[in-house]
Amino acid sequence: MSSTSYRIPVVYTEEVREALHEGRPVVALESNVITHGLRFPENAETARRVEKAVRDGGSVPATICVEDGVIRAGMTERDIENFASEPGIPKVSSRDLPVVLARGGRGATTVASSLVAAELAGIPFFSSAGLGGVHRGAATTMDISSDLIQLTRSKVAVVCAGAKMILDLKLTMEYLETHCVPVIAHGSDDFPAFYCSSSGVRAPHRIDDEDMIAKVVATHWATGHPGGVVVTTPPRAEDAVDSAEAEAAIADALAQAERDGVGGQGLTKYLMHAVDRATGGRTAQANMAVLISTAEVGGRLAAAYARHLS
């Protein structure tokens, strides 16, 4: 098998295939947030509401996963229920993807691997609540989420509420700047912090006009840039968590992680869950709300992009 003749199989749901064929807007979504980010049964309910939000925004949702060694672009209600309820489905990031595909395996895609999949599937928009980024203490741990690296390589626009608040958001912004990834803030001056409205870091550009954002995305790719664009949208005021409260819980969670010797690919989930326990479930609630509100903006922006191209 020569490397040029081997094509990665992508299996589309009929709805997604038809939408792409007809040039209608589609938004890709990750599945790792279903298996690792949230708990059953809220994860299944949230995944369904996220898909509905993409539709409300005027696009077709395509939740991405790996099943039987193929990339699925679009999951049925039943697939989502299975992923949400079955324990032990592995987190598959970009570095894991070839192994899981080649072995005919199954897995839940992170932002990074969902971007690889979306590009292969011909879907130029993706939405999630909070990107992975540069972890606090990365100067010694070198823990930088491959979400950021993949953003420099996949031609997919990513709509999100910034990056997760457990991270070092100042360094995350530095990373994106160094690697030439445009960051456009929609609806706020600052780069949002996932379930908090502001990271305290000003975004390089604020654009509220959605047609202009579509034009920026198209222009980025017209310049021949191989990577993505980050478009942020802040959490709705009623969903946002107070940042002082979140910060205190994060400080405790980081200390706990250090005591328990947690690092590597399990760290993000560990921290998110520790913060959630410390806030009495408040941050998981906010996480779900932000996933949904972001998906609707993603749906609108993908629709604006499709109009721009037509």
Which residues are near ligand PSU by CB under 6 A? 30, 32-33, 36-37, 110-112, 129-130, 132, 145-147, 265, 268-269, 272, 287
164 is an active site residue: yes
Q: Which helix (H) or strand (E) holds 15?
A: helix 14-21
Among 143, 168, 190, 239, interactor with Mn ion by CB under 5 A? 143
Q: Which is nearer to ligand PSU, 38 or 214 (CB)?
A: 38
Judged on CB neighbours under 10 Å (0-12, 13-18, 19+), 103 is exposed
Residue 96 contacts residue 90 (beta carbons within 8 Å): yes
Sign of the dihedral through C-alpha 8, 12, 17, 19: negative
Comparing CB distances to Mn ion, the nearer of 153 and 206 is: 153
Using the rule CB under 5 A, is 168 a contact of Mn ion? no
Stretch that binds Mn ion, among 115-123, 135-143, 152-160, 301-309 (CB under 5 A): 135-143
Residue 29 or 303 having the CB closest to ligand PSU: 29
What distance in Å separates the CA atoms of residue 47 and residue 26, rounded to the nearest whole number? 16
Tokens in use for 87?
A: 């324990």
Give the nearer residue to ligand PSU in terms of CB position, either 109 or 304: 109
- Find residue 184's DSSP bridge partners: 205, 231
Contact status: 147 vs Mn ion (CB under 5 A):
no
Binding span for Mn ion by CB under 5 A among 66-74, 118-126, 138-146, 177-185 = 138-146
**Of these partners, Mn ion, ligand PSU, none, which one is at the site of residue 269 (CB under 5 to 8 Å by kind)?**
ligand PSU
How far apart, in whole angstroms, are the C-alpha atoms of residue 115 and residue 121? 10
Is-cis flag, bond preceding 234, omega within 30?
A: no
- Show contacts with Mn ion in window 16-35 (CB under 5 A): none
Name 280's Cβ contacts closer than 8 Å, sequence gap at least 6. none
Provide the token pair at 42.
């809220």
Active site annotation includes 91: no
Q: Which of 30, 81, 210, 296 is catalytic?
A: 30
The active-site residue out of 119, 164, 210, 296 is: 164
Contact partner, 73, from ligand PSU, Mn ion, none, Cβ < 5-8 Å per class = none
Provide the binding-site residues for Mn ion, judged by CB under 5 A.
Answer: 143
